[in-house]
Amino acid sequence: MNVGIVIITHGQIGQDLLDTATRVIGSCPVSVKALSVPFDCSPEQKLTEAAGMVDRLQSGDGVLILTDMYGSTPSNVANRLMAKDGIQIVSGINLPMLLRVLNYPELGLEELVQKAVSGGRDGVRVCEPVARTEE
Name which of 57, 58, 60, 66 is nearest 115 in CA terms.
66
Cα–Cα distance for residue pair 1/101, rounded to 1 Å: 13
The per-residue pLDDT for 83 is 85
Contact between 125 and 94 under an 8 Å Cβ cutoff? The reply is no
pTM score, whole prediction: 0.92
Q: For 4-55, how does the pLDDT look when each residue is reduced to its tens digit (9 = 90+)?
A: 999 999 999 999 999 999 999 999 999 999 999 999 999 999 999 999 999 9
Sign of CA dihedral 67, 71, 73, 78: positive
The per-residue pLDDT for 134 is 73
Provide the 3-class DSSP secondary structure of residue 14. helix
Give the number of other CB atoms < 10 A from CB of residue 64. Answer: 26
Domains with residue ranges and CATH for the chain? 4-122 (3.40.50.510)
The per-residue pLDDT for 135 is 66
Question: Where does the chain show beta strands of DSSP type E?
Answer: 4-10, 32-37, 63-67, 87-91
Q: What is the mean pLDDT of residues 88-106?
A: 97
- Looking at every residue in the chain, the average pLDDT score rounds to 94
pLDDT at 116 over 80: yes
